Structure 1
Amino acid sequence: MLFVRNDSKRFRFCRSKCHRNFNKKRNPRKVAWTKAYRRTRGKEMAVDSTFDFEKRRNRPVKYDRGLMGKTIVAMRRVEEIQQTRDARFFENRMQDAKAEKKKQARVEIEKSIELLAPAVANREEVMRNVIDSAKSRIAARKKSSNKLTTTPNSAMVEG
């Protein structure tokens, strides 16, 4: 939908939701689902040289097959560059979040340490049981492998 103001300023709306919010005079920088909100809060890259390729140009270009091939290859390359930069931007933004999650986990553990205390108290006993069962499994495997290796050899010697 296109809305033209009295001062000839044009506004294009992708869906009626956007148009309704514009009519309600809502600031898009304060509405959480908009691109403007994400950019102002630093959730998305606001400045990048790859954005210059997406600008519309009103210059008519004569069709040239070689130029079109190069353009398509360049578009793919720009897309790859944009994706790597987005990923890097996201990782940098989430570094602080990792530390914050660890801090919150520590606080949660400190709050509910009484739930974990019985498990920690039984830890040595559980570890002993695990080690004993592993040793018994290894011993059983050795016995079965010894039986398998000795039986065919003794049969060959006798035969």
Structure 2
Amino acid sequence: MVKKQTYTLDEAKKNLEHYCVYQERCHKEVKQKLQKMNMIPEAIDVIIVHLIKHNFLNEERFTKAFVRGKFNIKKWGKYRLTLELKKKDISKANINQAINEIEDENYYKTFNDLAEKHFLTLTDKNKFKKKKKLVDYLLYRGWESHLVYEKASELIE
């Protein structure tokens, strides 16, 4: 029989402080981590309050970092960013605040660059298949459908 590791409250606090310092975390991730550590609900609440009070855990900061990172690195659009943050139980206010920090000029430039770059990789001879692949690619990344269809029509005549 495998003996499950147990943690004292202080050990768990230290462990989670390191977990939160390594990268920004949301409350849901921290709670899941504590549950995997077999902590009781009362201890989970105490630790989460401790992390928030000592600024290891900050949902607003997490949301902004998440949006910046996924937009700049993975080139996700607003729909995908919103969807992924909702999965992490982030409040609507935090989501909107973080997404509104993306400058429109930068947003549209990123979209156009991504669309044009992907368009150049498409080798289909059939223009309808080519258009569908471009549209699917951009929609999957969470770009608004009106932008996607306009750009696809512009690139594929």
Q: Greater RCO between the two (CA within 8 Å, min separation 6)?
A: 2
Tell me whether the two structures share a fold, i.e. TM-score over 0.5.
no
Into which bin does the TM-score normalised by the smaller protein fall? under 0.3
What TM-score do the two structures reach when normalised by structure 1? 0.24
Indicate the structure (1 or 2) with the bigger Cα radius of gyration.
Answer: 1
